[in-house]
Every structure is written in structure tokens, then in C-alpha cells.
Amino acid sequence: SQQGEEDPQALSIQEGENATMNCSYKTSINNLQWYRQNSGRGLVHLILIRSNEREKHSGRLRVTLDTSKKSSSLLITASRAADTASYFCATDAGDYKLSFGAGTTVTVRA
């Protein structure tokens, strides 16, 4: 079964706008990771945030983690056409396995 649930399922934005997606999970975690998947390709690791961290940045990406609410958010600033992809959160619940959500499909319009 999938632990993480992303919201929204799909998101369409104009180039240059920010995109925000959320991930909720059910059990306590060691870390939470975000991955990107372009159409027809494998997943690419974006960022990992540990349970004792609240916020991390990587380039145009900002991830927050609220363990009290069992939720995380991924913000992509100043979106580009190349950001069009599906974004997945994945949780490690301490059993050294990753459990992926169903993903958010982001479309960036030119």
C-alpha cells in the first residue's frame, strides 16, 4: 500500500509562476524524499529532508516538513517548461524501504 498521498493530483500553471504540491503520510518517518519523473523516463531524485529538519532548499526548490501534521510541501519557484513532469513524494518509515505516493502531474504552459 502507498503511504504518501500527493495533492493536487494535477496542476497547470503559466511559465514563471510558482507551483506548490503537498504530500501527506500516515506513519512516523525517518526521512521524506521528492522525485521527478518526466514522461516515459525514470525517476530523478530532487531532495531529501530528514525528520528533524523543517525546511530545505535546492536551487528553485523548497521543501518543508511538518511531522506533527505528517505532511510535506514542495515549492517550485519561477517555473519553466522543463519542469513539466510528475512529482512523487516517498517516505522511509524506518524499515529502509521507500513508499511512494501516486504523484502530482505538473504542466507548465508557455
Partner 1 sequence: EAGVAQSPRYKIIEKRQSVAFWCNPISGHATLYWYQQILGQGPKLLIQFQNNGVVDDSQLPKDRFSAERLKGVDSTLKIQPAKLEDSAVYLCASSLVGPSTDTQYFGPGTRLTVL
Binders of partner 1 among residues 7 to 36 (CB under 8 A) are 30-31, 33, 35
| Residue with Cβ nearer partner 1 (15 or 107) | 107
Say if CB 87 and CB 62 are below 8 A apart. Answer: no
Alpha-carbon torsion 90, 76, 66, 57, what sign?
Answer: positive
| Residue with Cβ nearer partner 1 (4 or 11) | 4
| Residue with Cβ nearer partner 1 (19 or 23) | 23
Alpha-carbon torsion 9, 96, 65, 80, what sign?
Answer: negative
Q: Does 97 bind partner 1 (CB under 8 A)?
A: yes
The helix/strand/coil state of 83 is helix
Single residue of 52, 59, 69, 96 touching partner 1 by CB under 8 A: 96
Cβ neighbours for 54, distance < 8 A, ≥ 6 positions apart: 64, 65, 66
Single residue of 44, 58, 80, 109 touching partner 1 by CB under 8 A: 44
Give the footprint of partner 1 on this chain (CB under 8 A). 2, 4, 30-31, 33, 35, 40-45, 48, 88, 90, 92, 95-103
